[in-house]
Structure 1
Amino acid sequence: MTYQEEKLLFNQKTQCIVVDHDGTIEETDAVIFEWKVGTSIYNAHPFFEIIKDFIEVFEKEETIYNFPCIHLEDGEIQKICDVTIKINSEKVVILLFDYTTKYYELNKIAQQKNESILKAKELELKNQYLLEKEKFKNSFISNINHEIRTPLTGILGFIEVLEKTNLNFEQEELARIIKRQSLHLNSLIEDMVDISKIESGKIKIIEERFLFVNLVEGFKETYTKLAEDKEIAFETYIDPNIQEYLIGDRTRVFQILNNILNNAFKFTEEGKISLSVTKNYQRTNKLSISFKIEDTGLGIQKENLDTIFDRFTRFNEDRQISGTGLGLAIVKDLVDLLGGEIKVTSEPEKGTTFDVKLPFKFEITKSTPEKKKKKYSLPESKKKFRILVVEDEEATQFLIMKILISHGSFFVDVAINGEEAISYIERRNYDLVLMDLKLSKIDGYKATHMIRNNYGDKVISEVPIIGFTAKSGEIEREKCLRAGMDDFIAKPFEQEDLIYKIVKQIAKKAAS
């Protein structure tokens, strides 16, 4: 485009209007609006009424006024203009600059920007809602976990007590059914808690040195008995070239294999199940191990294989097989957390094979014997040891009293909250305190802190304290120890474990 063409294009968007002090148009090029010479500018558009005010205050020297983005219209012609008004003693000059297209573009950009801001705000609010929803869900699961575990502790505990009494065959069978269903309920709770922890990123991978062969032997011991009950075969194989001690998260590896094996036993009614463990590869101090679990069970339809690891996915609904549909979802999440791989192949009515590859490390050192659980015994005493049980659930109170009194070495007092526990401790000497953490008035943590810090009498301030609660896990244990407790036991607990921890703390206190 030539200079003249460029200038002409610019001129087409500029209009100059000259009016006298009365507002009569004397000259105009009528490029934008066709206002006639001799007509009043005040009749052209109401905006120009402001010129009257400018003329009234005019004082000899020429004055210029600028007005951006003025909407002017004349009939069907509508424009957005920048307006310049110049006033001197003889006349008024009005310059119109047509920026209609530019202002529409700017408005569009501003609108897009506003929409972008609104969308960002909407996304922020959605994320906030999801975070609050996740927080509520985790809190709900945590509370449900606690509320269910407390009565479940009583059920499992009393079943153990019942099993040690003289039962006839029918009563023994009923007790076994109650115990089996209670353990199943406990496993369902564990699944919900694990999914919640995985989603919230609270599961941490812990690398520790452990005796690898014992892990596989543990499965052999547990599932061989189950296989005998179902009248199917269970076979295990472990590659002799795998190092005796490995470094990895033993708990998560156990959980992965246990969930898959448990699933295999659910869906296999005849034939066999096998667990094969082989070395995949080894480089310096790192190695990959393959775990293959095969069964001759119901199998999985081909169209369902892609969703087998989805949460709450259950197949063979007509078979009345129990479960939450979370087991394999947990397996996949844990395998991913460990940096491993998992594949599944299956043929309906013939069986399913799970292939899991997991990474481990190992130390090039001589093997050391596995650390065994140290034995403790109660100090010699002519009198029984006195235990204070701080617990507000009546069923749990009765269960612990039954366990301790049946042992024959303990007297038991019961306090229903931290405040009452403090009162008991001030009046009577105790050899150990079993302290529930979730109590009314004064909770277990605060009561422990008061016992440890508010008394000069060492019989009170140094009494062994074992915390127990329905909230299981390493985090809860660490909180107990930081509060001043000597040990921790999670509900539901086994009687032998409870007695072991009590004897251990009393023996350690006597030896100090």
Structure 2
Amino acid sequence: MKQTRSLFRRFLKVHFLFIFFPPIMLIFISAFFGVSDIHKNNVNTLNLFYVTVLLFGFIIVAFVILSWRFFLTLQKRLARLQEVMSFSAENNSFPKPISVQCDRMDEIDELGSSFNWMIQQLEDSRKREYEEELLRHRLIANLSHDLRTPLTILRGHVTRLNKEPMSFEGQDSLSEINHTITRVGDLMDDLLSYTLLTSGKHPFVPVSTDIGRLVRASVAAWYPVFEEQEIQLDVDLPADETFYWEADPQWMTRVLDNIFQNVIRHAAEGKYANIAVDVEKERIIVADRGPGMDNSSYERGAGIGLSTCHYMLKKMNLKADFTSNEDGTSVAIGRV
């Protein structure tokens, strides 16, 4: 935008006129009186002295008043711009555009115009990001739904082939195919859950939650699964002591379900799992004796589920610390 008027040039021009124009006029007046009357009458000389003092006093007072008025106006305009910026920072929202005088634009109006342009660009960017996020969520939801049909068809063919006579190698291949179909279905479920979660489809309702009781309920629900996989379950859940977190019980249950599921998927060969509640440090500890997270199988299957866990825990002001090596994996859930 082309600048039409300079605020500071106008300020300097006015002050230049008030500083230099009156003394120049005084010199001309003094020269005129000096030629005609100043040597004839001493009274005129005294009057000229008073006029000079008054003129310089007027210059000083006018200079102070103009400077005060200029900087007061400048301060008000900058304070208005700063107020708009501070309001948006305190309320975590985009600021409103400020009014700009386009007919007599100066440096402050240029700054306000650039500020308004920046707001418009940010709003357009946020709108595009929101539309892209909706498109991504819709695409993932549709893909997760559409892929279930071919997976169901494949599972039906595998079930039919299991009834046909075939070699042990064929049976192993069908078993691996069936296991792979199950894993793909689980991954799609995790992806769909994460998409719905990050898009706000699963409401977050934090309440004061008895963590000891919640962990006991989750362990009781998963105990038959651990028993079926022949995993020795070592449980340390104090019955008389507990602690409370401001958390969503459904979200916490889903976090524990995901961790227990990872133990079943990736650490079942260790045949051991330890689940404990540390009341003193207010932590939930789940440990196994699997191959560790460096194992490729663990890495391939844990990504989306763990991302969902981390997202939920972060919303509840909690965190999960993982410790993993070849002797097993341990996760401790506690406050941030």
Question: How far apart are the structure 2 equivalents of 1:250 and 1:157?
Answer: 37
Which residue number corresponds to residue 184 of structure 2?
185
Deviation for aligned residue 1:336:
3.3
Question: How far apart are the structure 2 equivalents of 1:14 and 1:324?
Answer: 82
Quick one: which of 324, 327, 331 aligns to 1:350? 327
TM-score, reference length from structure 2: 0.56
Local SS of the residue matching 2:333: strand
Say if 1:213 and 1:296 are closer, same or farther in 2 by CA, change over 3 A. Answer: closer
Show CA shifts across 1:414-455 (max 9, x none): xxxxxxxxxxxxxxxxxxxxxxxxxxxxxxxxxxxxxxxxxx
Which residue number corresponds to residue 202 of structure 2?
203
Quick one: which of 210, 217, 220 aligns to 2:223? 220
Q: Do 1:278 and 1:290's aligned partners in 2 also have CA atoms closer than 8 Å?
A: yes
Which residue number corresponds to residue 329 of structure 1?
307
Which residue number corresponds to residue 153 of structure 1?
152
Aligned length, in residue pairs: 235
Say if 1:142 and 1:356 are closer, same or farther in 2 by CA, change over 3 A. Answer: same
2:223 maps to amino acid: K
Which structure's relative contact order is higher, taking Cα pairs within 8 Å and 6+ residues apart?
A: 2
Say if 1:267 and 1:143 are closer, same or farther in 2 by CA, change over 3 A. Answer: closer
Which residue number corresponds to residue 176 of structure 1?
175
Which residue number corresponds to residue 284 of structure 2?
291
Which residue number corresponds to residue 127 of structure 1?
126
Question: How far apart are the structure 2 equivalents of 1:242 and 1:157?
Answer: 50
1:192 maps to amino acid: L
Which residue number corresponds to residue 144 of structure 1?
143
Question: How far apart are the structure 2 equivalents of 1:238 and 1:159?
Answer: 42
Say if 1:150 and 1:270 are closer, same or farther in 2 by CA, change over 3 A. Answer: closer
Question: How far apart are the structure 1 equivalents of 2:240 and 2:187?
Answer: 37
Deviation for aligned residue 1:254:
3.8
Say if 1:213 and 1:181 are closer, same or farther in 2 by CA, change over 3 A. Answer: same
Q: Do 2:292 and 2:325's aligned partners in 1 also have CA atoms closer than 8 Å?
A: yes
CA RMSD of aligned residues (A): 4.2
Q: Which has the higher helix share?
A: 2
2:119 maps to amino acid: A
1:190-339 mapped onto 2 (5 Å cutoff): 190-205=189-204, 213=216, 215-226=218-229, 228=230, 233-241=232-240, 251-265=250-264, 268=267, 271=270, 273-278=272-277, 280=279, 290-299=283-292, 322-323=300-301, 325-337=303-315, 339=316
Question: How far apart are the structure 2 equivalents of 1:8 and 1:256?
Answer: 71
Deviation for aligned residue 1:133:
0.9
Deviation for aligned residue 1:122:
1.0
Say if 1:157 and 1:273 are closer, same or farther in 2 by CA, change over 3 A. Answer: same
1:355 maps to amino acid: A
Show CA shifts across 1:53-95 (max 9, x none): xxxxxxxxxxxxxxxxxxxxxxxxxxxxxxxxxxxxxxxxxxx
Identity of aligned residues (%): 19
Which residue number corresponds to residue 472 of structure 1?
none
2:192 maps to amino acid: V
Question: How far apart are the structure 1 equivalents of 2:262 and 2:114?
Answer: 50
**What residue ranges of structure 2 are gaps of 5+ in the alignment?**
1-13, 26-103
